[in-house]
Structures are given as C-alpha cells and as structure tokens.
A and B are shown apart, each in its own frame.
Chain A
Amino acid sequence: MRETSLSLPAINDEAMIATEPEIPQAIDVLCSDSIATPGEILGDSSQFIAGKGSYLAPNGRNIHASITGHRRVLPPPADSTEKRSTVEVVGHKSRGAVPEPGVVVIARVTRVMARMVSADIMCVESKAVKEKFTGIIRQQDVRATEIDKVDMYQSFQPGDVVKAVVLSLGDARAYYLSTAKNELGVVSAQSMAGATMVPISWTEMQCPSTGQIEKRKVAKVLQTFFHFRI
C-alpha cells in the first residue's frame, strides 16, 4: 500500500492533541485467535450488532462470520441510542470489487450514441476490477442542469476516462452511471492529434501541442489524498 500525502505541519504536541479528531477508536486484536472463518460465531446478538462480513443467524441469537479475516469490534456511535457494539470481519484478502449503487467508479468510454454513452468500468472506488463491467450514461444523467439540451458528442468521446457514480444496477446488460455533479465527468482525454488534453473550463479541454479546443463535460478534480491499493 503506497500513500502519498501533502506535507505535514511542524509537529507540536500540544497542537496535535488539540486538533485530534473525534473518531471512535477501533479495537483491533491482532493475534491468531481472532482470525474468523465463515460460519464461526463472533458473538451474541444481545451484545453485538452484525457489521460488514458477518450476519445474524436465523434464530436471532448468534452472529456468524461470512468471510475469512480479522475480527474487529467497533464501539457504538455516540449519538445514537444503540448500546451494542458492532462486530465485523475485515477481510485479509478482499474479494474482487463489484459496482454497487452509490459508489464512485472510473470508466472508459467505448461508444457514444445520440442518447447515451457506453463505458467499461475499470475501477471501483480506487480498487481495480479483474474483469470489466459495462456501464451506461444516459442523456439525462450527464449533468444536473438543462438535461434535455445535452449533446452527447460534445460531452464525451470514445477513449475518454470518466469519473462517474453508480446510480443503480440497471438492466441485464449494463449498470446505470451518472456524471451529474461538478466533480464527475471526463478526467482524462486525448485530443485528435493524440496528446493528453488540459482542462480549461467545465465544458472545454485544450490540446497542448496544437492549441485546439474540444468540448467535453469536464470533472472538477479537487486536491485529495491518493491511496493506491493494488
């Protein structure tokens, strides 16, 4: 796991204590006893809630693990009336990424048509998929304003790398994607001359070698931490 971060401010003990965020500390017991395998009982339903990677048995009494991984107990959130901690299993080898409604994906445009665009989903939330999934961006999902006046050919071109959010599972053939937010849209595109274009506004990108301006629905990429997980 590689992490690139912005430069840290000068370390000052008092300042760090003052600005420490209030997050629930996860109690992570890393010994050989706490590796759970599918079916193992993690706890009782009177003391715990089933979190990720676990489920409640049909008799309503035990919580069993669903995958192989480390057992973790999270304390209950401070603002709710729930007194029970959450027990979850954190997979040591997480399964292949699958698009789910609400997650941000990176896709590459394959076909542009009058009312929709076909794209191959390559990454799901910074995790690359082993085999691609097919997604569709419909005309009404390209942007939030004036959705009936969208020209697909001036929003996307084949080969563009697009950041989108999964709207729903869609139909048998493809997932439904949407780029109707400022931070979604074309992230990287190649000009007709073959060079990688530079965004100049939210509708235009310019080729650095020829100076030609091409129209795209450009994503506004904010400064963030980039986590690379292979």
Chain B
Amino acid sequence: MRNDKSLLRTNEKDIKAERAPEISEMATGTSGTYSPSQCLERKQQEQKRKTFQEVDWARSDGRNFHQCRPAFLRTGAASVASGSAYAEFGSTKVIVSVFGPRESKKAMMYSDVGRLNCHVSYTTFSTPIRGQGSDNKEYSSLLHKALEGAIRLKTFPKTTVDIFALVLESGGGDLPVIISCASLAIADAGIMMYDLVSAVSLSCIGKKLVIDPTSEEEAWQDGSLMITYMPSRNEVTQFTLTGEWSTPKINEAMELCLDACSKLADILRLCLKENALELAP
C-alpha cells in the first residue's frame, strides 16, 4: 500500500508540473478566450485527484472499465470527396475525407506503388480552450503508419491518395477514432484494402485498466496503449505504448484491446453494408 501511495504521489507531481505552465499561460492571457472557471480550477483538480486515488471509482459517463463508448458511424458525409466518413464516439467527433487516386504532384519522383498522404487537423473549437489541439503534428504520421499496412498500394501505381481528417470535437481517444473513421472512408472510396482497420486505446490509471478513455481520464493516466488491428487477417498494423508497464499488465491490456478491436470492426462492417444497401439500384 505504501509503495502504491508513493507511486501515486510522484505521478501527481508530474501531472502538476504538466499543468502548471498551462495555468500561467491562461493567467497572462496568451492563448485566447478567457475561461471563467480559472479560479475553481485548483479545487476541481484536488477533487479529481482524490477520485482517481480511490480503489473503486465510477466513470463519469457510467460505463464500466472494460466498456467502450457507443459509436455512431456514417459514410458519404462529404459528397465532393471520393469517399468520406463521419464518426462519433461519445463526445469525440471526427470527419475524414479521402481524395483519389489522383495524379501526384509533378515534383515527386516516379514510384511503382501508390502514395498515401495523410493530414490530421483540429478545428479551433474542438478543445475546451480555444486554440490548437495538442499533439496533432505527429498524428498525421501516426495515421499514415497505421493505414499503409492495410492499403494495397500496388493497385494504383504512380498516383496519390490524399486523406484529410478533421476533428470537430476532441473528447478523448482521438487517434483511434481518427484511424477507424479513416479506414471506413477509404473503404467508401472504393480503394482496395487488405482489410478494415480498427483501433482502440486503453489507459492505465493507478492499477486499473480503463478502455476507451475520455479526455479527462487521459489527462490522469499513468500509461497508455493503442492497438490498430486488422481482424480478418489477425494482424496488428500499429502498436503504441507510453508510460510504465509490467509484462503481465501489457498482456492483459493487449487482450482487452484486441477483443475491443474485433468488435469495433464488426460495427464498421455493419455500417458499410447498411450504406451499400442504401445505394444499391
């Protein structure tokens, strides 16, 4: 117990250090709109810390720890694009449009296989504090790595497929939602793939493994695991691990994630089939 408490305390300090610059930024007013809850911020943080320290705490949206958020998926959201999809996982809302295959830019060298160009951007109103979303610079390359293993690039040589993801509201677990939505959009565009790609992330808070975390739970996490999985082929295209993990914990977390990924892939397939039936002449 003592070890656990000390572990928690050091983590609190880390989290405090992370939070401090944000508060000072807000005080000097560099980031934009004024948030009226500034003064209550510290008290709320104290309360939150206590909740996560307890052995049994309830998630704010009433799920249990191994339950994912309900998903709402639609294809054909943007008619100008070759393929598009809209996904809502709790309060995370993402729209992905796919253009292509189209001619590569003249400056690029000839390539035998197709090229993939991914871009992830956040709207200014997607986060509670108006302004740039965090970590979105590396999301573009992470999305690229997750998808390139699933697309049959040899079927469109010399051309480029452009994928643009726009996060309308960032409610936690953004990257897995972006990846799943992107694979749905690519399937909608009729581009040949090996399999649909589904992604699920998992947070480790204290000793608990919490699947599909919200942004609040992500802020208090000690470690995270994200798996991008192709269920029919039983292959993982991307595996991201942050924080401190012991081997049995990783095994348990992986099993949870892979199971959730398979179920999510079934939902993605159902969405594609429903939309296909609608379009059938």
Does A153 touch B at the CB level, under 8 Å? no
B196 adjacent to A66 (CB under 8 Å): no
Given known pairs A64-B194, A64-B195, A133-B103, the reply for A35 and B277 (CB within 8 Å) is yes
Count of B residues near A, CB < 8 Å? Answer: 40
* B100 pairs with A96, CB closer than 8 A: yes
Would you call A195 an interface residue if the criterion is a C-beta within 8 Å of the partner chain's C-beta atoms?
Answer: no
Chain A residue nearest in CB terms to B189 = A95
Most buried by A among B156, B192, B280: B192
Name the residue on B nearest A94 (C-beta).
B190
- The docked-state distance in angstroms from the alpha carbon of A91 to that of B230 is 21
User: Are A68 and B194 in contact (CB-based, < 8 A)?
Assistant: no
Interchain CA distance A64-B104 in the complex, whole Å: 29
Q: CB within 8 A of B272: which of A68, A95, A132? A: A68
B187-A38 in contact (CB<8A)? yes
Asked if A81 is at the interface of the complex by the 8 Å CB criterion, the answer is no
Min C-beta distance of A205 to chain B, whole Å: 30
B103 adjacent to A131 (CB under 8 Å): yes
Does A185 have its Cβ within 8 Å of any Cβ on chain B? Answer: no
Given contacts A35-B273, A37-B196, A40-B269, contact A93 B103 (CB under 8 A): no
Residues from 155 to 175 in A contacting B, C-beta threshold 8 Å = 169, 171-173
A130 contacts chain B at the CB level, 8 A cutoff: yes
Chain B residues, Cβ within 8 Å of A64: 194-195, 232-233
Contact yes or no, A39 B231, CB < 8 A? yes
CB of B20 within 8 Å of the partner chain? no
Within 8 A of B (CB), among A9-60: 30, 32, 35, 37-41, 53, 55, 57
Q: Is B276 in contact with chain A by the CB < 8 A criterion? A: yes
Name, among A57, A69, A98, A130, the residue most crowded by chain B CB atoms within 10 Å (CB to CB). Answer: A98
B196 engages A39 (CB within 8 Å)? yes
**Do B193 and A66 have beta carbons less than 8 Å apart?**
yes
* Cβ B152 vs Cβ A95 within 8 A: no
The CA of A132 and the CA of B106, in the complex, are separated in Å by 13
Residues in chain A near residue B109, CB distance under 8 A: 172
Asked if A57 and B196 make an inter-chain contact with CB atoms under 8 angstroms apart, the answer reads: no
**Which of B104, B106, B190 gathers most chain A CB within 10 Å?**
B190
A68's partner among B82, B156, B188 (CB-CB below 8 A) is B188
B101: A residues at CB distance < 8 A: 95-96, 98
Taking a contact as CB atoms under 8 Å apart, the answer to whether A67 and B187 are in contact is: yes
State whether the Cβ of A92 lies closer than 8 Å to any Cβ in chain B. yes
Known: A67-B187, A93-B188. A39 touches B103 (CB 8 A): no
> Assuming A39-B194, A67-B191, A92-B280, what are 8 further A-B pairs, CB within 8 angstroms?
A32-B273, A37-B196, A38-B192, A38-B196, A64-B233, A68-B190, A96-B189, A132-B103
Residues of chain A at the chain B interface (Cβ within 8 Å): 30, 32, 35, 37-41, 53, 55, 57, 64, 66-69, 91-96, 98, 130-134, 169, 171-173
